[in-house]
Amino acid sequence: MIILTGGSGFIGSAFAWKCNQEGVSDLLIVDDLNTSEKWKNLVGLHYRDYLHKKEFFSRLLNKDLPKNIDALVHLGACSVTTEKNMDYLMENNYRYTQILAEWAVQKKVRFIYASSAATYGNGEHGFDDTHAQLPLLMPINRYGYSKHLFDLYALHTGLIKQTVGLKFFNVFGPNEYHKEDMRSVVCKAYSQILETGVLRLFKSYRPEFEDGGQKRDFIYVKDCVNILWWFLQNKRPCGIFNIGTGKASSWNTLANAIFSALDIPSRVEYIDMPETIQNHYQYYTEANMTKLRKSGYTQPFHSLEEAIHDYVRYLKHQKTLSYTPSLNG
């Protein structure tokens, strides 16, 4: 059995889909559905059972979980980069991960968890996923710090040699519709362009970057779940790994690819960035993918243009559906 926390979320439900594609349905989905629309991501998936995260945590502490657990893939967290409740982030993103990791290692269960490229802050120390770099990193928002804190805990306690942490860069793709403001620009742009013919991007507030020239390492969710699956099949690699493509692209390049996929002439307007995020905004990210490649992962990544065209085809298809049954757009 694979325990999958955050299993109804964006990457979590995509990974459940990947498991099903590989013939695996012995999944225990753990999440907090509440009144969100995330339940739609579970429609069409095959899994054994679902537990609310509080019930799961209680059963874990009371030693009331199934005995045949092969892996715990921990993708459940608060991923809102603008979240201001630090106590909530510390409990949800740090402490919860700490307890799950220690439990998994004690039980000899493969533990894979989501870290984040937000831990790199402004990138003044680069984007290398070497363990020696970890203490140097300076996250610039609360979310990034909550993720970084567990990475440091894993380093200092030795858990880093027995677990896998994945620093996801800018992920986009199917099943993210419920994330509201945290949806990718690709997802937001699809509706915005169809409604207005225009895509609005933030202006740059640093002279070395033109408007729309800010760069990120964008990675398609289908590439992410391929990597997750590889780590399940290959139990030897442990440590923290970047999950990006190794190629930074500007927002303008992203915009042009979206317009091209929609077969609409490009039209971009640059708007003021809210003051609340100006000091916490990453202008450049680019994952160093050397470590993952040296570990044996050889699959190619979708190019940005390929990924966006595939995603737009999916969004066009989903427009006729009342739910999101699969990633086969």
Q: Which residue out of 94, 113, 120, 143 is catalytically annotated?
A: 143
Give the residue ranges of DSSP H helices in the chain.
Answer: 10-21, 53-61, 86-89, 96-106, 142-157, 185-196, 221-233, 251-262, 275-278, 290-294, 304-318
Residues 6+ apart with CB under 8 A from 4: 12, 15, 16, 27, 28, 29, 30, 73, 75
143 is catalytic: yes
Beta carbons within 10 angstroms of residue 115's beta carbon? 25
- Phi-psi label, residue 304: left if phi above 0, alpha if psi -120 to 50, beta otherwise: alpha
Do 175 and 324 form a contact (C-beta atoms < 8 A)?
Answer: yes
For the chain, the C-alpha Rg in angstroms (whole number) is 19
Specify which residues 199 forms β-bridges with.
268
Residue 183: CB atoms within 10 A of its CB come to: 17
User: What one-letter code names the amino acid at 121?
Assistant: G
Question: Which residues make beta-bridge pairs with 27?
Answer: 2
The catalytically annotated residue of 18, 40, 179, 291 is 179
Q: How many residues does the chain have?
A: 329
Identify the CA nearest to 28 among candidates 11, 10, 45. 45
Q: Which amino acid is at 253?
A: T
Residue 220 neighbours by CB distance under 10 Å: 24
Q: Which two tokens stand for residue 127?
A: 């984007």
Q: What is the DSSP string of 266-291?
A: --EEEEPPPHHHHTT---B-----HH
How distant, in Å, are the alpha carbons of 38, 125, 130, 254, 311 from that of 248? 30, 16, 19, 10, 19
| Active site positions, annotated | 143, 179
